[in-house]
Amino acid sequence: EDQVTQSPEALRLQEGESSSLNCSYTVSGLRGLFWYRQDPGKGPEFLFTLYSAGEEKEKERLKATLTKKESFLHITAPKPEDSATYLCAVQGISGTYKYIFGTGTRLKVLA
Amino acid sequence: DTGVSQDPRHKITKRGQNVTFRCDPISEHNRLYWYRQTLGQGPEFLTYFQNEAQLEKSRLLSDRFSAERPKGSFSTLEIQRTEQGDSAMYLCASTPEVGGVETQYFGPGTRLLVL
């Protein structure tokens, strides 16, 4: 059964303190891995799609990387506005197009 | 704004009542998904449409839940005889059928509270 585990559950950083969020996954075959940002009371906002091991994508202070078993979301010099829940999801090749989500990492960046 | 829209944004109902939510996908996106998200959890898949055809339903979708997508445009999700356990955020997402990996774009969600 496809499964996604995110760690840590919660993370508090000082402004400017870089860190990484982890997404470990088990899937019979990976079609894609996705990162989303979610603010309280809102729908997930798309950040990145990663397709294959070794791939990296960047957007402003965020960088996502992918291996065969896990993905990292690196946050460089975060700002308070980066505070949100970061969700990881996988889409397998089993014939269905649904996403399997992790429970997310709640990030709080303190000024 | 050409994103996914959902209506209503909030719904409070009493146990036993029926509720219906609407989702308007991004124009020309022919795949549409419904997810449910409870506090502190990631979204969980409920059902998926390709055009007007409902191609997959999760076991989470009990017989009190029904979804439709007439004419392959907007979709509705109805919950009959609501229970307190149905309280959650209901999310809709859409994606174009381009083959390969397809990014799902989410709406703002409908937050349901069953009293």
pLDDT digits (tens, 9 = 90+) for A29-38: 898 999 999 9
Return the residue in A52, A85, A98, A100 with the most chain B beta carbons within 10 A, the one to mutate for interface testing.
A98
- Say yes or no to pLDDT of B101 above 70: no
State mean pLDDT over A15-39: 95
Mean pLDDT of chain B: 93
Both tokens assigned to B18: 């029926």
Contact in structure between A102 and A85 (CB atoms under 8 Å): no
Could A34 and B103 be called an inter-chain contact, meaning their C-beta atoms sit closer than 8 Å? yes
Residues of A in contact with B106 (CB under 8 A): 36, 43-46
Amino acid A19: pLDDT: 98
Could B40 and A103 be called an inter-chain contact, meaning their C-beta atoms sit closer than 8 Å? yes
CA A79 – CA A103 distance, rounded (Å) = 23
Convert the pLDDT of each residue in A48-104 to its tens digit: 999 999 999 999 999 999 999 999 999 999 999 999 999 999 998 876 789 999 999
Both tokens assigned to B53: 């055809």
| Tokens 């969700």 found at | A87
The tally of CA atoms less than 13 A away on the side-chain side of residue B91 is 24
Number of CB pairs, chain A paired with chain B, less than 8 A apart: 64
Q: Which of A6-10, A74-78, B48-52, B93-97 has the lowest mean pLDDT?
A: B93-97
Collapsed DSSP state (helix, strand, coil) of residue B26: coil
Amino acid B21: pLDDT: 98
Stronger pLDDT, B1 or A11, i.e. the higher one: A11
Stronger pLDDT, A29 or A8, i.e. the higher one: A8
Amino acid A96: pLDDT: 74
